[in-house]
Amino acid sequence: MDTGRKDFVLIIEDEKKISDIVRAYLEKDGFSVRIAENGSEALTFFREGPDIIILDLMLPDMAGEELCKIIRETSNVPIIMLTAKSGEEDRIKGLGIGADDYMVKPFSPRELVARVKAHLRRAGKTRKKILSYNRGSLRMDLERHEVVREGSSLQLTLTEFKILTALAENHGRILSRNQIVNIVQGYDFEGYDRTIDAHVKNLRHKIEKDSKSPEFIQTVYGVGYKFIGTPDEE
Ligand code: CA
């Protein structure tokens, strides 16, 4: 899809030497990158909706396998595992823990980047292009940047469109203002999180019948926003 944002790669790796070099290669290729150094940080960043995850098996606070299982409970995001010990390779093959791919250390960062791109291409083919909620009463065409409410096309600004699709694609999950800024802009921008409220207010005027009892964007006080529309079945 093209909402103008960079593909977001979450690297979960406690060895700084490795994560730094992988980050450098990915950023050079136009990716937006976040590094989590342990499992709990990884779960926080995971809520920002990465497009792909690079996951080291040996983390200080949690086994990579465990983390992979937790992620798989709510997400089909592509996961490439990094393994160090010989024998882990076989374990991954055998366990079927939900990783899409793995690389054995030491690996070539260029090859890792190539695999990241291949997985994103594959995932992109299955990614939904049309999102539809509440029996077709709200429809978003992610390729054409079109939002239709009760049959009429809405005029959304690009930022409003990005916020709406970010929330919808993270359906049921709370996104903080900071997370929304990151998803929409691809990087932190200090102070911008407060203006998210203004954008959401405008967005609600356009998509909600009654902003006081929203059907789509719920405010979670002190935390952020959550998309609560009911997805239509295919
Ligand atoms: Ca490690």
What mean pLDDT comes out for the span 68-79? 86
pLDDT band (50, 70, 90) for residue 187 = low
Cα end-to-end span (Å), the chain? 19
CA of 225 to the centre of ligand 1 (A): 34
CA of 63 to the centre of ligand 1 (A): 9
- Cα separation, 100 vs 213, in Å, equals 41
- Quote the pLDDT of residue 163: 93
pLDDT band (50, 70, 90) for residue 129 = confident
SS (H, E, C) 75-119: CCCCEEEEECCCCHHHHHHHHCCCCCEEEECCCCHHHHHHHHHHH
Could you report the per-residue pLDDT of 7-41, keeping only the tens digit for each? 899 999 999 999 999 999 999 999 999 999 999 99
CA of 185 to the centre of ligand 1 (A): 30
Which 8-state DSSP code applies to residue 186?
S
Q: What is the DSSP string of 43-59?
A: HHHHTT--SEEEEESB-
- Higher pLDDT pick, 101 / 92: 101
Count how many Cα atoms sit within 13 Å of the Cα of residue 179 in the half-sphere of its side chain: 18
- Quote the pLDDT of residue 69: 87
Residues 6+ apart with CB under 8 A from 152: none
- Higher pLDDT pick, 67 / 173: 67
Domains of the chain, each with CATH number or no CATH:
8-126 (3.40.50.2300), 130-227 (1.10.10.10)
- Cα separation, 84 vs 221, in Å, equals 43
pLDDT band (50, 70, 90) for residue 2 = very low
- Residue 214, pLDDT > 70, answer yes
- Residue 1, pLDDT > 80, answer no
CA of 64 to the centre of ligand 1 (A): 9
CA of 58 to the centre of ligand 1 (A): 4
What is this structure's pTM? 0.57
Using a 10 angstrom Cβ sphere, with 0-12 exposed, 13-18 middle and 19 or more buried, the burial of residue 132 is buried
Average pLDDT, the chain: 87
